[in-house]
Amino acid sequence: MSGKAKRTLFVAGISLAMIFGLEAADYNQTENFGVKKPGDRVGFTVTPPGTVISGNCTNSGGFVWTGGPASWNGTIPDDFSGNHAGAFDGTYQPTGTGGQPKIYTWYVDTNAKVVKVGKIEINAEGSQHDVTGQEITLLKGTKYTFKAIPDPSNLAFPSGEPKWSGIESGSGETIEVTFDTEGSFSLTAKCGSETGKKVDLVVILPEIEEVRYKGQDIVDKQDKWTKSGINDPACFVQNRNSSVEVVFKHARSLTYNTSVVIYGDVSWWDDDMTGGNYSETTTTFKNWPSTPLIIQSESTNEPEVDYYEEVDITWQYKVPSGINSMIDAGDTNSLDYYLIWNDQVAGSEFKFDIIKWACDAAEDTAGEDDIREELNDEIYSEYDYDYNCHMLSSNFTWCNRVLGISANTWYWSSCSSMYYIKPGFPNIGDMAAMQSISFVPAGHFWSQIYDWSFHQWAQSGGKQYDPSSGNIHNGSWGGYEDYVMAKYHRVDSLSPTVVVLDDNQPGQTLGCESTGQAFNAAVFAWSSP
């Protein structure tokens, strides 16, 4: 504060300077209040060298003033910001003048800078974004730093300002907010008594929408689970990591790209089917449905053919830049997982009924020979033989192929069968039919001898498998023919046709056997028991 008194000629107590504007006031004083905020109160007292007689506020400078003539109090309005410049003047009687009073003039100018919140910014995606008055959508588990920008922008907020309120409270130019709860919130920054600036916040939790199995393609299924109700089976090769493709979804898109880590927490009881939990894998959330993400199990699944229809997985995510701890994002329960021995064999009929039946038949079995034996035994036990060797051997072949084991069917035919009719049949010496050894056929309880026009069985891994009889024979199809056939019906004469029984001879080139035919047979369609 400064002041200086000046002598001036008066006419009837009125300053000539006031009449003619010849010079400034006799006493000048400056008040600088510094940086203030809305709602602050300021004040001053004019102190000329004498007694103040009168005083007026000639320019409020945007403040609300009360008092006078010497002492003044001002209040900064809630909506004021920027530079304040006020003006006051009046008169005073100098001290010790004696005689006729002489009236002098005084003048006071007031100055201040008032700052309030101009906008709110968020630090996201590596830069600042103005979110004032907006509604933004953020992911549960994130942390963001919000910054209040002063108005005017060239001023700094007073110490302890602004004040933050809403989802988080605090003071200062910036505030970090942790979003660990879903719902709708707001965040307001105020400097002093101003109304402040606000941003509305919606915090969302997306959920698993779809799981697509990246294993063996089941041709009559969609190979996926969906939240909308699809729960098709998964098929993977044993002793390998399993992979799935996951998709998440929410009704609201996020405002900013958010890097997350996805994790599949498999129930401890089920992790031998999946190969443990599904590994932490990084992706980005923003729009929905999310970009499909392939995620692999942490280890290999069990080394055997198996199946389980109650696999439970809890899907989780975490935000490394946020709270960095896993958040549950939905469950996929009662999933059907099937483990086969190897990649499906080309030309296999990879349908679910066959896969299910084969995995059930060879459950908990490892090794190709053991698997083939289990399949042969299971078909022999579950089916009834009724001259349907072609169907049973075809089923055995299908089961092996869907489990990833090569197999095919062979049949041995007389000169007149559903597969083969010899030109000119019958001729003397032709094989008219064949007769089996005594065996207990599938689904029966006593031994029988059968007369056949043909017989069909399967071949795999250097062995012959005959589910009609339950037989397994090491070696070629010809060796099995020598074993399973006891006699042959040979055409002995034509007028009338007479057929006689000959004993089976080693190989297939002696006697009427030389007229028979062996074929790598077509595989018939799957037939359920």
Q: What is the pLDDT of residue 21?
A: 38
Q: What is the pLDDT of residue 192?
A: 96
Work out the angle between the directed axes of helices 389-402 and 352-361 (0-180°, nearest 10): 90
What distances in angstroms separate CA 156 from CA 82, 131, 194, one per listed residue? 12, 20, 16
Report the amino acid identity of residue 518: A
| pLDDT at position 175 over 50 | yes
pLDDT digits (tens, 9 = 90+) for 103-145: 899 999 999 999 999 999 999 999 999 999 999 999 999 999 9
Q: What's this model's pTM, rounded to 2 decimal places?
A: 0.84
pLDDT digits (tens, 9 = 90+) for 307-329: 999 999 999 999 999 999 999 99
End-to-end CA distance of the chain: 108
- The whole-angstrom separation of Cα 167 and Cα 183 is 11
- The whole-angstrom separation of Cα 504 and Cα 412 is 13
Between CA 121 and CA 129, with CA 124 as vertex, the angle to 5 degrees is: 35
Confidence band for 150, pLDDT divided at 50, 70 and 90 = very high
pLDDT digits (tens, 9 = 90+) for 33-68: 999 999 999 999 999 999 999 999 999 999 999 999
In this prediction, what percent of the chain has a pLDDT beyond 90? 88
- In the structure encoding, which two tokens stand for residue 503, read together? 């004993």
183-218 core/surface letters (b: 16 or more CB in 10 A; e: else): eebebbbbbbbbebbbbebbbbbbebbbbbbebbeb
- The whole-angstrom separation of Cα 429 and Cα 270 is 63
| pLDDT at position 22 over 80 | no
Confidence band for 233, pLDDT divided at 50, 70 and 90 = very high
pLDDT digits (tens, 9 = 90+) for 258-316: 999 999 999 999 999 999 999 999 999 999 999 999 999 999 999 999 999 999 999 99
Selected residue with higher pLDDT from 179 and 14 = 179
**What backbone phi and psi angles, to 5 degrees, belong to 51?**
-105, 125
| pLDDT at position 248 over 60 | yes
Q: What is the pLDDT of residue 102?
A: 80
Q: What is the pLDDT of residue 100?
A: 57
